[in-house]
Structure formats: C-alpha cells, structure tokens
C-alpha cells in the first residue's frame, strides 16, 4: 500500500483529501505544521508528499528543502493558493515534482498523484520500501522538541500513560488497527482510548490530535 503524507493546515481540506485518497487504497497521514511534517516524513516514510506552502510555523518551502537535503526523493506535489509563476518556479527549483493551485479538481489531483507514483516507481524500482540510506536518520530528533511533553499531556489534559501512547501514534498518522498491533492491544480497546483522547484534548478529529501535539 502506497503511503502519502498530506501537509496542510486547513484540517477540513486535509481530511477531505485523506478520505478521497483512502478510498483509492492509499495509506494517509496528515501534518498541519512544518515541524510535524518533518517528524512524520521520518516515521511514516511516505511514497509521496502533498505539500501546502502557507503553514503556520514555517513556509512549506522549508519542508521541501528539508526533505531534499536529507536525500528523500519521494515525489512532492505542491498544493497551494499561490498562483504566481515565481512561486511555482521556486518550488520546482527546490525539488518539487508537480504544482497544483487551489481551488482544484479532486479527480485531476488524484490522477496527478497516481501519475507521479507510477513515474517514481519506474525510475526508482525500490520505491515504496523503507530506504536503507542512513542520511534519513538524523531528521527525527530535530523535530522532536516541537511535540508537547508527556507531563503537559498528563497535567493539562488528564491523559493516562496509555492514552499518551495512543495520542502520539495518532499524531504519527497510524490507524486504530496499526496502533493495536504496535501496542499489543485489541482494536476495540484502542478505539475506546482514541475516543477518550479526542474528548480530553477537545479536538474533533484525529488530525486535530497531531495539530495539538505539535502546536509548538
């Protein structure tokens, strides 16, 4: 299953795109900030990144630069409201593979994503497998300080140790089934923990958990 990382701070748009991609059979993670995107790119190892430029903590170009500087050659499709030719050229100069302006047609976007993945697979036969290159390893520690510490999750939100584990895995983009396998719990136990995490953090969706964890 191909993995896609959506970097988009408008949660409603990110989740709508996530639903469309999951219906096409992709595994999808969402980052709402540049710092979160760096951490998820290291842990999720996406086969493709859909990247917004107007992020709240840093410009999306910085995410693109970070990916390319550490040797990540996954296709990057910029999805932005910026229509100026200068913005598009900057994206391509930094290593973007495609540029789509908002508003966009969902079917066209899905077709572009599929085409980028096919092209990448032809040119990089190992695409979709965890890369062996050690250059990707140093990226994760750099983004870690952006996450809320366990103490804050316990004292400010009343999360239990298990709920903190679940919340962090939700923030990494894992599904309930993946979390259950990782933690050695039943699917129904994880689902119950997830509902409690959403209620305690007062967020409406799984994407909101990641946004809060990496709120800086």
Residues 27 and 93 in one domain: yes
Q: How many domains does the chain have?
A: 2
- Cβ proximity of 81 and 104 under 8 Å: no
- Has residue 187 got a pLDDT over 90? no
- Residue where one domain finishes, among candidates 83, 110, 140: 140
Residues 72 and 167 in one domain: no
* pLDDT for the residue 130: 47
Name residues whose C-beta falls within 8 Å of residue 147's C-beta, 6 or more positions apart in sequence: 39, 168, 171, 213, 214
Q: Tell which residue, 97, 107, 111, 101, has the closest CA to residue 80.
A: 101
Confidence of residue 103 (pLDDT cuts 50, 70, 90): confident
Q: Tell me the whole-structure pTM to 2 decimals.
A: 0.65
- Has residue 118 got a pLDDT over 80? yes
Express each pLDDT in 62-85 by its tens digit.
999 999 988 899 999 999 999 999
Query: Quick one: average pLDDT of 158-169?
Result: 90
CA dihedral 149, 155, 158, 163 (to 10 degrees): 20
Query: Quick one: average pLDDT of 116-125?
Result: 83
For the chain, give the mean pLDDT. 85
- Residue where one domain finishes, among candidates 140, 157, 174: 140
* pLDDT for the residue 96: 94
Residues 159 and 192 in one domain: yes
Express each pLDDT in 16-52 by its tens digit.
999 999 999 999 999 998 888 888 888 888 999 999 9
CATH of the domain at 203: 1.10.10.10
Residues 101 and 167 in one domain: no
Residues 74 and 39 in one domain: yes
Query: Quick one: average pLDDT of 3-7?
Result: 94
Q: Tell which residue, 95, 117, 106, has the closest CA to residue 4.
A: 117
Residues 194 and 122 in one domain: no
Express each pLDDT in 129-162 by its tens digit.
544 444 444 444 444 445 788 888 888 889 899 9
Tell me the residue range of the domain where 90 lies: 3-140
* pLDDT for the residue 51: 95
CATH of the domain at 75: 3.40.50.2300
Q: Give SS3 for 14.
A: helix
Q: Tell which residue, 112, 92, 101, has the closest CA to residue 48.
A: 112
* pLDDT for the residue 75: 94
């Amino acid at each position: 299953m191909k993995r896609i990382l959506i970097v988009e701070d408008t949660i409603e748009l990110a989740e709508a795109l996530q639903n469309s991609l999951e219906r096409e059979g992709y595994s999808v993670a969402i980052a709402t900030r540049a710092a979160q995107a760096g951490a998820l790119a290291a842990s999720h190892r996406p086969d493709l990144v859909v990247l917004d430029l107007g992020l709240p903590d840093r410009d999306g170009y910085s995410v693109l630069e970070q990916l390319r500087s550490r040797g990540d050659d996954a296709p990057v499709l910029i999805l932005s409201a910026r229509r100026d030719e200068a913005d598009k050229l900057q994206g391509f100069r930094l290593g973007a593979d495609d540029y789509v302006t908002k508003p966009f047609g969902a079917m066209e976007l899905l077709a572009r994503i599929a085409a980028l993945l096919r092209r990448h697979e032809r040119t990089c036969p190992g695409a979709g497998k965890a890369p062996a290159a050690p250059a990707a390893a140093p990226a994760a520690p750099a983004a870690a300080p952006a996450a809320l510490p366990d103490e804050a999750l316990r004292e400010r939100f009343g999360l239990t140790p298990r709920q903190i584990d679940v919340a962090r895995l939700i923030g990494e983009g894992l599904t309930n089934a993946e979390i259950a396998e990782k933690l050695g719990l039943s699917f129904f136990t994880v689902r119950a923990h997830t509902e409690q995490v959403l209620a305690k953090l007062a967020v409406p969706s799984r994407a909101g958990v990641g946004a809060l964890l990496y709120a800086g």
